[in-house]
Structure 1
Amino acid sequence: MLRGVYVVTLISRSPESPENFSELLEQLNALEPAIPFIQTYPDEVQGGFESAEPALRAMLLAAPEARFWAGIGVGAVKAPRFAAALGAISTPECSGDALDFSRLAVEQAQTGSPARGIVVLGHHRAFSEQATGLARLIFRVASERTDAENRVLSLIVPGVRGQQKAVAQALGISAQAVSKTLVRSYYHEQEAALPALAEILINLDQDS
């Protein structure tokens, strides 16, 4: 039994034209989830983390162009004994409230006017509402970035200083252009807000 698991479920907003998930899955699994991301349905991918911060990075990978509904569920996951021993588990083989919360969250993400886009759920109702409110704001900001902005941000390593020149060289643009992109895309505000959201997620695995 894994406790304090953050299960992320992403559903394509365009099921009539199935997504090619290969690139997204590669990016998600580069975050080193405890339960690897796989395509669970034609329009869905799912996986899980044992810490909050990479779960939020997964959320950000799903944000560009608002292509996905996102749900994060926090709780326990029970894996089959032999699969867990072999280190070859996937969410369809597992059970637990983190999976249930994630499924309910991604369903709720598709509701509302305007639609919520992302919902976070756990045992603590008040913290779930707080996490969802902040996650919606960050997700909305990230979803409205341009392709050019996303190309820059995809090369930025969070928390590393002095990398703007290297990013500029890789993209064939000026360091000043990189700096302006970070300001225009609200990247610094995003990075300042993520630790607060992660702290709320950590408190979600509590009874309300």
Structure 2
Amino acid sequence: MYVLTIDQQGSSSDVDRVPELISALRDLTPAAFERSVGDELQGVVEHAAEVVDVALRALRTGHWYVGIGIGSVQLAPGDSPREGSGSGFVAARKAVELAKTAAGQVPLSVVSGTMGRGRDIPPQAQDGAMASANAQAVLRLIGRVVQQRTEAQWRVVDRLRAFQGGEGRHGSQKHVAQELGITEQSVSRAVLRSGWQEEWAARPAAAMLLDYAHSHLVRSQNEGAR
């Protein structure tokens, strides 16, 4: 399981944006996100691809620190994330705090919950930690692309996703142009300059690395329990 802890930037001098983000995330994952403390929200997500969706949706606005924790989760079905425990929650807390210190970088961090310290960490857990670091690097790259889009570019790519589930094929570009009342050439330029194709080519890589980190951590924990 993956635990995401997402904290609002500059909340003391800004409006409360938690309800808006919680509402937006309902379209991306069946996982329930809830306010945890202050201007922070938290959720437990089962699938890596949904983790990528949630993280990039939060990064899009530039208002959030995103922490992704990979580890064990003790949470009864239907219970609030606030009632959960396990290494995934500890890792998510560490991750969001690290995201806050990522000066000049995309404010996202991925932390893998591990057993032991230093050389005592099992090899499987070490592999998981490395995969977590690689997933963080890929997500930060994609996050930079997402954060640099203009509003005009977002209007185009949002419609492309609605038409083709993110693929943005030529035929859907024609439909988007008609819907927005612009030329197909304008849509093509927006797709090119927005990094839309590059984002969707890289998303599976980020999800694969998260899944790899998760599987190795689970394997390590299972071996440690023997």
Paired position in structure 1 for 2:87:
97
Is structure 2 residue 36 aligned with structure 1 residue 40? yes
Distance in 1 between the 2:38 and 2:155 partners? 27
After TM superposition, give the deviation of residue 142 of structure 1 in Å: 0.9
Distance in 2 between the 1:149 and 1:136 partners? 20
TM-score (normalised: structure 2): 0.79
- Classify the secondary structure of the residue corresponding to 1:154: helix
Is structure 2 residue 22 aligned with structure 1 residue 22? no
Higher strand share: 1
Is structure 2 residue 118 aligned with structure 1 residue 121? no
Is structure 2 residue 196 aligned with structure 1 residue 187? yes
Summarize the Cα distance change of 1:19–1:167 in structure 2 as closer, same or farther, 3 Å threshold. farther
Deviations 1:67-110 (A, max 9, x none): 11111112221113xxx2xxx32210111222211111111011
Summarize the Cα distance change of 1:18–1:96 in structure 2 as closer, same or farther, 3 Å threshold. farther
Amino acid at match of 1:12: Q
Paired position in structure 1 for 2:184:
175
Q: Which residue of 189, 196, 204 maps to 2:213?
A: 204
Paired position in structure 2 for 1:158:
166
Unaligned runs of 5+ in 1: none
Distance in 1 between the 2:26 and 2:143 partners? 20
Is structure 2 residue 142 aligned with structure 1 residue 138? yes
Summarize the Cα distance change of 1:149–1:41 in structure 2 as closer, same or farther, 3 Å threshold. farther
Contact 1:6 1:50 in 2 (8 A): yes
Larger Rg: 2
- Classify the secondary structure of the residue corresponding to 2:32: strand
Compute the RMSD of aligned alpha carbons. Answer: 1.9
Amino acid at match of 1:41: V
Distance in 2 between the 1:10 and 1:23 partners? 13
Percent identity (aligned): 35
